[in-house]
Structure 1
Amino acid sequence: MRIAILGNGKMGKRISELAIERGHIISCKSSSKNPATNLDLSNSDIAIDFSTPTSAFNNISHALNSEIPVVSGTTAWLNKLEDITNLCKKKNGAFLYASNFSLSVNLFFVLNKQLAKLMKDHNYKTAIHEIHHSEKLDAPSGTAINIAKQMNEILEKETLITSERINNINGIHKVSYISDIDEIEIIHTAKNRDGFAIGAIIAAEWIIGKKGVFNIKDIFEQ
């Protein structure tokens, strides 16, 4: 594949490195001096967007208008997801969004869903705590928000989310079920960015040739 990198921060750089290792070509990449919306995407097979909440909508729109599929892992822009969905349908394009592309994080979702079902009829309070590096702009993380949505639907009550920003933390998510007697915790700790980057590349490989709007579950279900 010829991949356009929209957002060339730490994640974008790691995606580029791992994509080349997998035999792909980086056709173009954005920078502070050359924003993604200025890129000529005519020689790209797909765009991968890991940019910022303020630029993601325009970046994704530019790629869809350039008639190439888009994979996005940028968070905190989803108030405009419906607009992107409509544009994707209008262009008969392909778009995949996930708050987290890590295989192990998505297994974490499955484990926590089952645990929430088991705990529903017991008297436990719930809490989510997430920690990320200090450069992460949004809080709470998109992953924590999605975990909470999953739990709220099952438990029929709100789950508190707390956040920390600490240097050199790639991502920690802890879900707690708390009673006066005991406490159950499940924790996912990302040791580096590779799990997220490889997942995004796999998503890009998967979406080529498809039409429609997808999420990470569509990949794992196949």
Structure 2
Amino acid sequence: MKIALLGYGKMGKTIERLAQNRGHEIIFRINEDIEKFDLQQVDVAIDFSIPAAAFKNITSCFEQQVPVVSGTTGWLEKYSEAVELCRSKNAAFIYASNFSLGVNLFFELNKKLAQMMSNFPEYDVALEEIHHTQKLDAPSGTAISLAEQIIENSAKTGWNLGEASKEEIPVTAKRIENVPGTHCVSYNSDVDTIKIEHIAHSRDGFALGAIIAAEWLQHKKGVFTMKDVLF
């Protein structure tokens, strides 16, 4: 594949290394105004930019009929608008809050556990996420996805960063140097705690998942999720 990297920070550089190892070619490394670039020569764009740039990056790809894979979080108030534009342009799009295979397995485990625990109201659920100090959004997109899955499969009505009501899921976000990403879901009662946790050891898992998604997305049209890619 010929790839445009939208965002060339630590994640972009990791994607570059792994993509080249898989025989792909990086055509553009874009940290500036995407409209300056003619993307017609690329097969797919992979967006790990910043929240302020993500929507413009993604929609510019749709306009040029370039499939786009995005893992940027913190811009999802415009996600529905992006989906609508993708479909109107007959383009191709995958967004995931986390492309790691392990995290996507963790998502499935989280949904199943939430269904099981919904029958035991004596347990209070809580979420904690830890990331490196350069991460701009809090809580992480992955933590929000986990919270939304629990809400869909329980009596909880929402989530809140910090203090939460009885009907909400309390979410704690910590920023610690050199932590790629840790997510923990715990169910606490007076007598015990049940906990599931995913700990990333490096960025490689996220990057490889995004590349696999980009490979899968070639020659397709529509809006997809990582579940379509993996399962």
Same fold by TM-score greater than 0.5: yes
1:204 counterpart = 2:214: yes
1:129 is displaced (CA, Å) by: 0.3
The answer to whether the aligner puts 1:185 opposite 2:195 as a matched pair is: yes
Contact 1:6 1:29 in 2 (8 A): yes
Does 2:54 correspond to 1:56? yes
User: 1:150 aligns to what?
Assistant: 149
Match of 2:226 among 212, 216, 222: 216
Give, in whole Å, the separation in 2 of the partners of 1:144 and 1:84.
Answer: 22
Q: Which residue of 1 aligns with 2:69?
A: 71
- SS of the residue aligned with 2:178? coil
Give 2:94's aligned residue: 96
What is the match of residue 130 of structure 2?
Answer: 131
- The 1-side partners of 2:194 and 2:35 are apart by 46
C-alpha displacement at 1:38, in angstroms?
A: 2.1
Alignment RMSD, CA only?
A: 0.9
Aligned residue for 1:55, secondary structure, equals helix
Cα deviation per residue 1:62-114 (whole Å; 9 max; x = unaligned)?
11111110000000111111221121112111011000000000111111211
Instruction: Provide the C-alpha distance between the structure 1 equivalents of 2:68 and 2:99, rounded to a whole number of angstroms.
Output: 14
CA contact (8 A) 1:126 1:159 kept: yes
Identical counterparts, % of pairs: 55
1:169 equivalent in alignment to 2:179: yes
Question: How many aligned residue pairs are there?
Answer: 219
* Structure 1 residue 23, shift from structure 2 partner: 0.3
Would you identify which runs of 4 or more consecutive aligned residues in structure 1 move more than 6 Å?
Answer: none
Distance 1:47 1:110 in 2: 27
TM-score (norm 2): 0.92
**Partner Cα distance (1:169, 1:38) in 2:** 34
- TM (norm. structure 1) is 0.96
Which stretches in structure 1 are left out of the alignment for 5+ residues?
A: none
